[in-house]
Amino acid sequence: MEHRTRLFVIVVAGLTLLTGPAGVEAQAQGTYPVLSWYDEFDGTAVDPTKWSFELGTGSQYGLDGWGNNELQYYTARTANARVAGGLLSITARREAYGGQAYTSARLTTRGHFAQTGGRFEMRAALPLGQGLWPAFWMLPATNEYGGWAASGEIDIMEARGQQPNRVVTTIHYGNSWPGNTSSGTTLTLPAGGSIADFHDYALEWDVGGDPELRWYIDGRLAWQTSDWWTSGGPYPAPFDAPFNLMLNLAVGGNFVGSPDGSTPFPATMKVDYVRAYQAAPANIQIDVPTGASQTQFDAGYARILAADSLRKLGGGDLVFAADNHYSGPTLVEAGRLRVTTSRALADSPTVVSAGGTLAIGSGVAATIPQVTLAGGRLEAGNLTLGTAGIQRLAISAGSITGTPSLAVEAGGRLTLPTANRLTIDVGSLRVAEAWGGGLVDLGAGEVVIAAGGISAADLRADLLAGRNGGTWTGLNGITSAAAAESSGGARTVGYLITAAGTTRVSYAAPGDTNLDGTVNVFDLVQINGSGTYGTGGSSVWSEGDFTYDGVTNVFDLVATGGSGTYGRGGYFPTTANQLAVATVPEPAGSAWLAAALAAVGLACRGSPNRGPDSENPGLACPGQSG
């Protein structure tokens, strides 16, 4: 949108058809993968945090008629600029207002957004009619190199309403007016094409080693140039400084001439969206100071499509509310990263260090390939582990707050460390048991489930699925890598249902009825005191059911003897494949079993009322004849 077109010069680089082999596809996401700013016009009014209105006739800037003898008075009325139905409508009207015969609107991002280089896009349908002048263009945020046009102007798209199949692209540079110059081209749309239809108009602006400006229409290269200069500084000035975005619909002026009786009013420019992209740094760092809160949009990363890594620094809150698609890791090193949309971290494995927090908003089913708590915290109300949520959650140190409802679906995995004792709290736990179901690997850790968060029957089923026939290499259910890898005897996973209904599920050895990390005579006394041994009645781990079959019998005692832990002190591994130092020698073989049976007060003929010839052969002592 040119100012002062009394010296308006367009050096036509060639009349370009946007069809045929000369056009090449734009590679916007490859070259500029970070959506740095956008307006999709999904609200009900022009967003004042993104746009400001420029009003009047330009006389306040010493540019009456906006320097081009234009005929409109710009307003901020909804009659001239309205947002509805996902569109911004800029409408020119034939009406007396402010001493002019026409009204319209002119919007700028000045004071809200400016960027040096990148990709800038608009999808719009433009009005037809003599004397109508819609434009999507850019002005410098500051006149660093001098007054217009020494500091530059970039016209991404201008159109004459009386030329339905043509648009113009232009850059302005050189000296300050009146010593300015310009270059550009007129573009002809493919046969049958009209500016009244929606088209994508875009500019890619390269800065750095090989400066270049490239214009695209509907994804096809239309024109490009690297040829410009300014008296205010060395090349690539003036196009190496931040520019604002502009949208307007002018009426009349030197570029288009005045409207006539054939011009339809009201005339509307309809804009579907405006977007700005920037190149992705190899490693993005966003530092939010303690006490502050900032959205990724505020930080200049409205949407991130590529990054080798992203580091969240500073003690403040950073809010991710966009659908990002970068595959590099996200490192939450300090403060809080709050996720308020499901795909904010859809392709990024996320590591939360000590001092950092990953907070998943209420009702948000976040999709993340892996979350690793390396000393940090995870805040969540509900967690789904699987292809439709967080695929893997690994906790080497840290905590989960909010006692979330935890569902481990098919393909999902929760992993606690193998070598360190770690306890996490959840409100409920559900593990998919079907083929390819979920997996909870407790390592040497423990999960505490709130009262009512899992039934004993479901828990036993999950344990049996993870046990995989005693090998502890199952692909779903609840298992323990520490149990599978430990030397010195069998290991398993125990559970304890407290009087309050809370369930503890822990790396354990058969016989450890109270999950205190040791197996001794007190555990055998506990089995005896429960009164369930040999009765065939329902039994849980704390009553001696170490094989998860729902009853306590001699096979559970045999499992305890085979664990190699009775009377040896703590059995938790200090490192993988290494047990804690034994403190008490363990009785061996049948001597241990006899001692165990004696400790629980059970004669080798069985419990009261159930002799060795009863219907429950599990009560017979090993080696005893009938």
Active site residues: 153, 158
For residue 575, count other CB atoms closer than 10 A to its CB. Answer: 10
Cis peptide before 236 (omega within 30 of 0): yes
| Contacting residues for 557 by C-beta, under 8 A, at least 6 apart | 544, 593, 596, 597
Round to whole Å and give the CA distance between 59 and 612: 109
Token reading at 167: 């648009």
292: buried, middle or exposed (CB in 10 Å: 19+, 13-18, 0-12)? Answer: middle
| Contacting residues for 529 by C-beta, under 8 A, at least 6 apart | none
Residue with tokens 């009087």: 499
| Interaxial angle between packed helices 521-530 and 589-599, expressed in degrees from 0 to 180 and rounded to the nearest 10 | 50
Short-list 384, 414, 397, 421, CA closest to 506 = 421
Short-list 466, 463, 510, CA closest to 491 = 510
Round to whole Å and give the CA distance between 519 and 537: 24
Residue with tokens 């006539």: 260
DSSP assignment of 134-170 equals EEEEEEESS-TT-STTTT-EEEEEE--TT-TTEEEEE
| Contacting residues for 218 by C-beta, under 8 A, at least 6 apart | 18, 199, 200
Token reading at 62: 């010493």
